[in-house]
């Protein structure tokens, strides 16, 4: 020391290897994706769209010999004929009301404690159940002739993901896939359920599907693939007495319940504990959705929590309509926590419409202002939406937008 001053050595801050590794890990962290499957995705496997369901149901009522002998079905048929006297020779589904409109009118009448001329309130309540049951019958019949497009899409998606994981052991790839890819299915059918179930079975059966029906501790790691079905599913039965749940795996077990609504005495397995009928949970597509069911509430709570982690939203045949305001609410709440980085649209290309005139494009864009929007519908383009001959090209473009390769 000189002249009473001190000379200090520069402070050395430890910079361990672990910290450098953490920085590298942060920069190489993969994004979390949510794949949102709407009616357009199921249409690829012959499941009717909403505006086609009623024409299919009316056709079933006209042609089926088995269900005409039941009085409740004949009453429904009479109601639909009076409400919508559409000429039989009309082949255009445009002239038929949507599934949403009919159920909405019925529910609105019940909510107002009113009815329609010639029909009692009790009948209106029965009609809601019967229309939902007939919808299930139509879906079940159409699923038989499926092209397995949803299954091929999921398989190609996983194969593309696997190619990005060159430094990861094979037994860890599915686990990482489940952590970085969530699935939201607006549809009642089990096409996506079966596709994901087949994927987990094909790659060792270590993982399974978590329908997120229960609130779980987020600190406990899970290897299961998350599948959210906030409108219910034909893949689940529940006892309203003890709460026991039966998940059907690849089977549409909910179909048994709906068929029992049409055919009195139709065999349906009762709860082994309570000896009472088990119920399927379906939330009809109306503006007056009943969301008080505890399992549906749990699905929405879990969806909101997982959305906080998501960077990329991939909409497949789903236009995010105003009727699904409850989902818009959940997405908007989650967005304020995390912030979505990119939205990717996959739908059927219509040559008659320019992108600026496409309601599908702008309905989603209005919901997420400021978020980068990529429309693969026009980028590729996709004349048939999610179709068998376009899956590889769709996955290729998806990989470039999600993984940058």
DSSP label of 5:
B
Average pLDDT of the chain?
81
226 pLDDT more than 80: yes
What CA–CA distance (Å, rounded) separates 276 from 269?
A: 9
Round to whole Å and give the CA distance between 269 and 260. Answer: 11
More confident residue, 263 or 136: 136
- Residue-level pLDDT at 27: 34
* Average pLDDT estimate for 226-239: 89
The per-residue pLDDT for 10 is 44
Q: What is the pLDDT confidence band of residue 2, given thresholds at 50, 70 and 90?
A: very low
pTM reported for the whole predicted model = 0.85
Residue 25 scores a pLDDT above 60: no
pLDDT band, very low/low/confident/very high, at 206 (cuts 50, 70, 90): low
pLDDT tens-place string over residues 344-396: 999 887 665 555 556 667 788 888 988 999 988 878 888 777 888 889 999 99
Give the pLDDT confidence score for residue 114 in this predicted structure.
95
Of 29-38, 150-159, 284-293, minimum mean pLDDT range = 284-293
Residues of the chain above pLDDT 90, percent: 29
Please choose, from the candidates 284, 324, 321, the residue with its C-alpha nearest in 3D space to the C-alpha of residue 303.
324
Contacts of 8 (CB under 8 A, 6+ apart): none
Q: Can you name the residues that pair with 209 across neighbouring β-strands?
A: 225
Residue 341 predicted with pLDDT over 80: yes
pLDDT tens readout for residues 134-185: 888 888 888 887 778 999 999 999 999 998 888 888 778 998 999 999 999 9
Q: How many CA atoms lie within 13 A of 360 on its CB side?
A: 25
Q: How far apart are CA 198 and CA 25, in angstroms?
A: 32
Predicted local confidence at residue 5, as pLDDT = 44
CB 216 within 8 A of CB 97: no
User: Quick one: three-class SS letters along 213-249?
Assistant: CCCCCCCCCCCCEEEECCCECCCEEECCCCCCEEECC
pLDDT of residue 18: 42
CB 346, CB 315: distance < 8 Å: yes
Confidence of residue 251 (pLDDT cuts 50, 70, 90): low
């Amino acid at each position: 020391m000189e002249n009473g001053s001190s000379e200090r050595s520069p402070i050395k801050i430890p910079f361990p290897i672990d910290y450098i590794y953490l920085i590298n890990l942060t920069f190489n962290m993969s994004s979390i994706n949510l794949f949102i499957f709407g009616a357009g995705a199921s249409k690829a496997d012959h499941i009717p769209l909403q505006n086609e369901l009623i024409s299919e149901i009316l056709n079933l009522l006209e042609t089926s010999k088995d269900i005409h002998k039941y009085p409740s079905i004949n009453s429904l048929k009479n109601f639909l004929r009076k409400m919508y006297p559409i000429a039989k020779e009309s082949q255009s589904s445009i002239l038929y009301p949507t599934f949403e409109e009919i159920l909405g009118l019925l529910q609105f009448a019940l909510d107002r404690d009113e009815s329609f001329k010639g029909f009692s309130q009790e009948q209106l309540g029965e009609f809601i159940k019967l229309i939902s049951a007939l919808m299930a019958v139509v879906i079940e019949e159409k699923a038989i002739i499926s092209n397995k497009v949803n299954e091929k899409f999921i398989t190609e998606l996983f194969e593309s993901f696997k190619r990005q994981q060159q430094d990861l052991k094979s037994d860890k790839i599915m686990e990482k896939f489940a952590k970085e890819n969530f699935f939201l299915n607006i549809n009642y059918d089990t096409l996506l359920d079966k596709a994901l179930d087949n994927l987990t079975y094909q790659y060792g059966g270590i993982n399974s599907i978590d329908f997120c029906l229960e609130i779980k501790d987020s600190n406990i790691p899970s290897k299961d693939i998350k599948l959210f079905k906030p409108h219910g599913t034909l893949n689940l039965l529940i006892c309203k007495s003890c709460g026991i749940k039966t998940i059907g795996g690849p089977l549409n077990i909910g179909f048994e319940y709906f068929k029992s609504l049409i055919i009195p005495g139709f065999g349906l397995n009762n709860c082994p504990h309570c000896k009472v009928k088990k119920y399927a949970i379906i939330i009809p597509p109306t503006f007056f959705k009943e969301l008080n069911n505890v399992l549906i509430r749990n699905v929405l709570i879990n969806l909101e929590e997982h959305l906080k982690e998501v960077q990329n939203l991939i909409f497949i045949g789903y236009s995010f309509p105003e009727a699904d305001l409850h989902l818009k609410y959940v997405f908007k709440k989650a967005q304020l926590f995390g912030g979505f980085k990119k939205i990717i649209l996959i739908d059927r290309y219509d040559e008659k419409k320019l992108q600026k005139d496409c309601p599908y494009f702008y309905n989603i864009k209005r919901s997420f202002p400021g978020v980068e929007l990529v429309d693969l519908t026009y980028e590729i383009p996709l004349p048939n939406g999610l179709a068998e001959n376009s899956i590889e090209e769709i996955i290729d473009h998806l990989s470039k937008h999600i993984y940058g390769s």
